[in-house]
Amino acid sequence: MKPLLPPALRKKGTIGIISPASPQRDMSRLDKGIQYLEGLGYSVKLGSFARSNNGSYLAGSDADRVSDVHTMFRDKQVDAIFCARGGYGSARLLPNVDTSVVRKNPKIFVGFSDTTSLQLALWKSCGLVTFSGAMPSVDMVDGFDPHSEEYFWRVLTSRRPLGHLRQPTLPETVQHGEAEGRLLGGNLSVLCSLLGTPYMPSLRGAICVLEDIGEETYRIDRLLTQLAQASTRTRPAAVAYGFWSQNSRSKESTPHRDVNEVLAERCDLTRGPIVSGLMYGHEATKFTLPLGVRARLTTKTKRLTILDAAVQ
């Protein structure tokens, strides 16, 4: 599939914000994220249901939330679409997403965590390159981490290949090798929830990035085991693990185990290289990764290299 690259974000452009999953925990956080964007000279257009809360874990009905997705892609004034936050609920929208609207109006689409389901589905249906990373109500509130901030804006605006991802501490090698492929993946538990559905793209030959938050080691073990068993015929070319953001104060009765031990056992995910410690996931300092572009992972240098520009 030929990737569908969105246009680069223009200076003082318009950013649309939607809530395709959970409602805002604290509305002031969204306000601060908007203030940050406006302070940089961008105009912000809120989705009609971006502030909705139907009294549950969803930011409005499925029809409301998918309506905001369609409206933002159709709106000629909107240059980029940012998901306010994650949570849960994006996968509920997939049967009703009109992919022809997206295909006719390719735009920058940013989010991570629960947004993984929308991003993988849009790659499967349209080949749209999307961006797994910083969100207004999460990362742009109390001071955007400087390293994350610089890379975030560069990946959305640069029409040049992005090159090596430089992080203070290099990833650790789990399995040696070198591979090239399309960068795909996202949140592990969300990705696994798509396995066996028509919305899950093949990972064959991909550089698969994986992260998660708040999951006990045995649950990460379960998810990786599921992924390994479900993808025996569609193995990725390489795997790069990001942050796991585990809760050290968990009251789980299951004995704790170092997650790195599990990662070392799951070398059946790919015949290619595996690294852990990629600066990606539910932490303040993280890369915003363009899903769908070509990348190279080598354990010789422990570098993930983005070989293409993510915007045109």
Task: Give me the sheet containing 294-298, strands edge to edge.
Answer: 163-164, 303-306, 294-298, 178-187, 207-211, 238-241, 274-276, 172-175
- Establish whether 282 is a catalytic residue: yes
Which value, to the nearest 10 degrees, does the dihedral of the CA atoms of residues 259, 222, 185, 73 take?
-120
CA–CA distance, 220 with 222 (Å, rounded to integer)? 5
- Establish whether 256 is a catalytic residue: no
- Establish whether 176 is a catalytic residue: no
CA–CA distance, 223 with 146 (Å, rounded to integer)? 33
Give the helix/strand (H/E) hosting 210.
strand 207-211
Candidates 113, 137, 193, 276; catalytic one:
113
Candidates 19, 22, 211, 215; catalytic one:
211
Cα torsion 291, 181, 310, 285: sign: positive
Half-sphere exposure of 63 (CA within 13 A, CB side): 0
Count the Cβ atoms, other than its own, within 10 Å of residue 75: 16
* Catalytic residue numbers, as ranges: 113, 211, 282
